[in-house]
């Protein structure tokens, strides 16, 4: 049904199909002028697509379900042409100038230094003792960072010592600081944020009133992840029931402005970042891959690309989720890796490949994940296989690459993070100096005696993938990249209302840290 005032608006549309689809899916029965305006902000039009050719098309096509508490409605897959046209030269990226590259990548020797890779170094037996050691080590590492980096108002004391002296510490004159692992987070009806912190000695129940004027990213409003390590300062409230620790403030590890290392001018080469190719899936975007290979062969900018980092989910895998079989074009796992090898063979010989696993790959899912099996590696003539995460340097530029499975937990755990803003999860990881804090969530963790998911060194480039978005930016001095996928929207993503941003190669000049996002869709 359509309101009379809206008729004119509808008549001016070149194509009614997206509007009707969106209205039906959003359960809009009466197309008032306002409803049409709202839907049109979601339906991609020629004008909005043309306005941002490089930007991924976020084709949200329905209004959000008011019951869902999600700002995102269902989305429609964009109509993707299978015809390939050459990618436009330089993509208007005047800041990513060839003048910044005195040498070509083929003339620069490869320089990869691996700082951390679990491959061959996993020692856990998964016993209770290992779990204890894993969390104690995390607490020790991050508490030490807080003390050395002066992010606490005073030296912390142990929970049991504070508890013993709770009468004394119940006065606001005796503020005390504690550091521990977080659990049982919830908001009280009053708006206070309640949680438990636990150190080696005991658990203490805490309550934090959101400070007036606090930003949405303040933990009291945004939340904390289970098993985060935080500091709290405040005092005890002695009452008949269990005493409560009233936190005046919450303290995260230090994260100042990072000063990035750069490759020297003679080593001014680029690193290209991609993840989630999902080769073997029916929705792998084959023509667009050919277009990228053509770009590598013909575009002068490609001659600056020395490294190609594939951060997990290179193949779609087999048996990763129920019913996956019917979404597969290649149903044999080894054939999937064989096809990925064939596709990567198309890259010019001056490009060095680095391959990490992700949650779709044929290695243990528990993180840190080791590199792919030597049997699989045989298909690849020239690639460096590393684990996930991997901390490494290219020409002195420190890179932390993590597939990003824990973004699922950050979306569930923090109010600010959504699947369309993975960069907020990445910022949250840097702020808490941990890639995947929560045990028992969606990210399987291996309880190594040392917690290697702690971000001990702030990277110059931090890269993740997994949620099939795209982002290139900067956070407190670290170049942040959420690398793009080569898989079109899947049925599952369509059901969730998620629109991926496929076929964007992110390229970083290691000398200047200028970034270019090159679209091949």
| Between 359 and 517, CB nearer to Fe ion | 359
CB of 466 to Fe ion, least distance (A): 4
Q: Which two tokens stand for residue 445?
A: 């963790």
Can residue 408 be called a binding residue for Fe ion (CB under 5 A)? no
Residue 418 exposure: Cα atoms within 13 Å on the Cβ side: 12
Can residue 228 be called a binding residue for Fe ion (CB under 5 A)? no
Place of tokens 């045989």: 378
Locate all alpha helices (DSSP H) within 304-360, ordered by sequence. Answer: 333-345
CB of 327 to Fe ion, least distance (A): 13
Question: What Å distances lie between residue 296 and 52, 306, 425, CA to CA?
Answer: 23, 11, 31
Can residue 501 be called a binding residue for Fe ion (CB under 5 A)? no
Compute the Cα dihedral for 150, 152, 158, 161 and give only its sign. Answer: positive
- Tell me which stretch binds Fe ion (CB under 5 A): 116-124, 273-281, 295-303, 415-423: 273-281
Q: How far apart are CA 151 and CA 109, in angstroms?
A: 41
CB of 387 to Fe ion, least distance (A): 15
- Tell me which stretch binds Fe ion (CB under 5 A): 122-130, 154-162, 288-296, 355-363: 355-363
Give the SS3 label for residue 496. helix
| Between 119 and 359, CB nearer to Fe ion | 359
| Between 284 and 295, CB nearer to Fe ion | 284
| Between 304 and 388, CB nearer to Fe ion | 388
| Between 28 and 274, CB nearer to Fe ion | 274
| Between 278 and 303, CB nearer to Fe ion | 278
| Between 199 and 276, CB nearer to Fe ion | 276
- Tell me which stretch binds Fe ion (CB under 5 A): 34-42, 234-242, 259-267, 268-276: 268-276
Place of tokens 């996930």: 388
Residue 423 exposure: Cα atoms within 13 Å on the Cβ side: 16
CB of 360 to Fe ion, least distance (A): 6
Contacting Fe ion (CB under 5 A), which of 313, 367, 408, 423?
Answer: 313
| Between 359 and 438, CB nearer to Fe ion | 359
- Which positions ≥6 away from 327 have C-beta within 8 Å? 281, 282, 283, 316, 490, 491
CB of 487 to Fe ion, least distance (A): 7
CB of 277 to Fe ion, least distance (A): 9
Give a three-class secondary structure readout of 62-104.
Answer: CCCCCCCCCCCCCECCCCCCCCCCCCCHHHHCCCCCHHHCCCC
Nearest to 368 by CA among 426, 314, 428, 449: 449
Site mask for Fe ion (CB under 5 A), range 453-472, x = bound = -------------x------
Give a three-class secondary structure readout of 235-246.
Answer: EEECCCCCCEEE
CB of 122 to Fe ion, least distance (A): 20
| Between 129 and 492, CB nearer to Fe ion | 492
- Tell me which stretch binds Fe ion (CB under 5 A): 72-80, 180-188, 311-319, 393-401: 311-319
Q: What is the dihedral of CA 327, 328, 333, 336, to 10 degrees?
A: -130
Q: What is the β-pairing status of strands 390-394 and 112-116?
A: antiparallel
| Between 359 and 446, CB nearer to Fe ion | 359
- Which positions ≥6 away from 366 have C-beta within 8 Å? 444, 445, 446
Site mask for Fe ion (CB under 5 A), range 357-386, x = bound = -xx---------------------------
- Tell me which stretch binds Fe ion (CB under 5 A): 35-43, 202-210, 305-313, 430-438: 305-313
CB of 353 to Fe ion, least distance (A): 18
- Which positions ≥6 away from 24 have C-beta within 8 Å? none
- Tell me which stretch binds Fe ion (CB under 5 A): 35-43, 251-259, 312-320, 471-479: 312-320
Compute the Cα dihedral for 127, 129, 132, 135 and give only its sign. Answer: negative
Can residue 316 be called a binding residue for Fe ion (CB under 5 A)? no
Can residue 233 be called a binding residue for Fe ion (CB under 5 A)? no
Q: What is the β-pairing status of strands 193-198 and 203-208?
A: antiparallel
Contacting Fe ion (CB under 5 A), which of 276, 316, 361, 409?
Answer: 276
| Between 75 and 359, CB nearer to Fe ion | 359
DSSP code for 157 = -
CB of 56 to Fe ion, least distance (A): 16
Answer for the pair 309, 273: CB distance below 8 angstroms, yes or no.
yes
- Tell me which stretch binds Fe ion (CB under 5 A): 36-44, 271-279, 317-325, 476-484: 271-279
CB of 361 to Fe ion, least distance (A): 9
Helix (H) or strand (E) holding 50: helix 46-51
CB of 278 to Fe ion, least distance (A): 6
- What order do you get walking across the sheet with 352-356 strand by strand? 383-385, 352-356, 305-311, 270-274, 504-509, 515-519
Question: What Å distances lie between residue 465 and 29, 38, 88, 359, CA to CA?
Answer: 39, 31, 25, 11
- Tell me which stretch binds Fe ion (CB under 5 A): 125-133, 255-263, 310-318, 369-377: 310-318
| Between 180 and 314, CB nearer to Fe ion | 314
Question: What Å distances lie between residue 41 and 7, 107, 341, 405, CA to CA?
Answer: 17, 49, 42, 31
CB of 375 to Fe ion, least distance (A): 22
Can residue 324 be called a binding residue for Fe ion (CB under 5 A)? no
Number of residues this chain uses to bind Fe ion (CB under 5 A): 5
Contacts with Fe ion by CB under 5 A lie at 276, 313, 358-359, 466
């Amino acid at each position: 049904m359509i309101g009379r005032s809206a008729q004119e608006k509808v008549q001016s549309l070149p194509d009614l199909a997206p509007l009707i689809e969106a209205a039906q899916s959003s359960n809009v029965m009466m197309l008032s002028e306002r409803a049409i305006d709202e839907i049109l902000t979601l339906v991609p039009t020629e004008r909005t697509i043309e306005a941002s050719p490089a930007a991924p098309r976020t084709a949200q096509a329905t209004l959000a379900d008011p019951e869902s508490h999600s700002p995102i409605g269902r989305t429609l897959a964009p109509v993707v042409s299978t015809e390939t046209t050459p990618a436009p030269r330089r993509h208007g990226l005047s800041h990513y100038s060839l003048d910044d590259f005195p040498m070509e990548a083929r003339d620069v020797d490869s320089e990869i230094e691996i700082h951390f890779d679990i491959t061959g170094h996993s020692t856990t037996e998964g016993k209770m003792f290992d779990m204890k050691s894993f969390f104690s080590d995390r607490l020790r590492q991050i508490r030490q960072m807080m003390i050395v980096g002066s992010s606490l108002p005073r030296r912390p004391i142990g929970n049991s010592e504070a508890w013993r002296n709770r009468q004394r510490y119940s006065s606001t004159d005796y503020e005390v600081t504690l550091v521990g692992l977080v659990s049982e987070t919830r908001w009280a009806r009053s708006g206070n944020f309640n949680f438990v912190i636990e150190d080696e000695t005991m658990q203490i129940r805490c309550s934090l009133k959101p400070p007036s004027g606090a930003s949405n990213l303040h933990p009291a409003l945004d939340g904390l992840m289970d098993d985060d390590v935080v500091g709290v300062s405040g005092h005890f409230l002695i009452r008949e029931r269990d005493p409560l620790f009233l936190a005046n403030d919450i303290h995260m590890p230090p994260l100042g402005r990072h000063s990035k290392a750069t490759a020297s001018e003679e080593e001014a080469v680029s690193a290209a970042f991609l993840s989630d190719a999902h080769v073997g899936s029916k929705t792998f975007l084959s023509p667009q891959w050919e277009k990228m290979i053509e770009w590598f062969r013909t575009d002068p900018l490609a001659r600056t690309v020395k490294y190609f980092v594939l951060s997990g989910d290179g193949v779609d895998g087999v048996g990763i989720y129920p019913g996956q079989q019917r979404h597969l074009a290649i149903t044999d796992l080894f054939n999937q890796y064989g096809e990925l090898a064939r596709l990567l063979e198309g890259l010019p010989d001056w490009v060095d490949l680095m391959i990490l696993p992700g949650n779709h790959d044929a290695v243990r899912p528990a993180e840190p994940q080791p590199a792919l099996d030597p049997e699989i590696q045989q298909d690849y003539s020239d690639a460096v296989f590393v684990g996930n995460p991997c901390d490494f340097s290219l020409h002195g530029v420190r890179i932390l690459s993590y597939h990003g499975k824990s973004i699922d937990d950050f979306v569930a755990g923090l109010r600010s993070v959504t699947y369309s803003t993975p960069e907020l999860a990445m910022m949250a990881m840097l702020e808490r100096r941990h890639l995947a804090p929560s045990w028992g969530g969606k990210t399987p963790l291996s309880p190594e005696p040392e917690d290697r998911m702690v971000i001990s060194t702030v990277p110059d480039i931090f890269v993740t993938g997994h949620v099939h978005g795209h982002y290139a930016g900067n956070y407190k001095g670290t170049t942040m990249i959420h690398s793009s996928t080569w898989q079109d929207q899947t049925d599952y993503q369509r059901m969730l209302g998620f629109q991926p941003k496929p076929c964007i190669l992110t390229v970083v000049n290691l000398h200047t840290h200028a970034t270019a996002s090159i679209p091949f869709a």
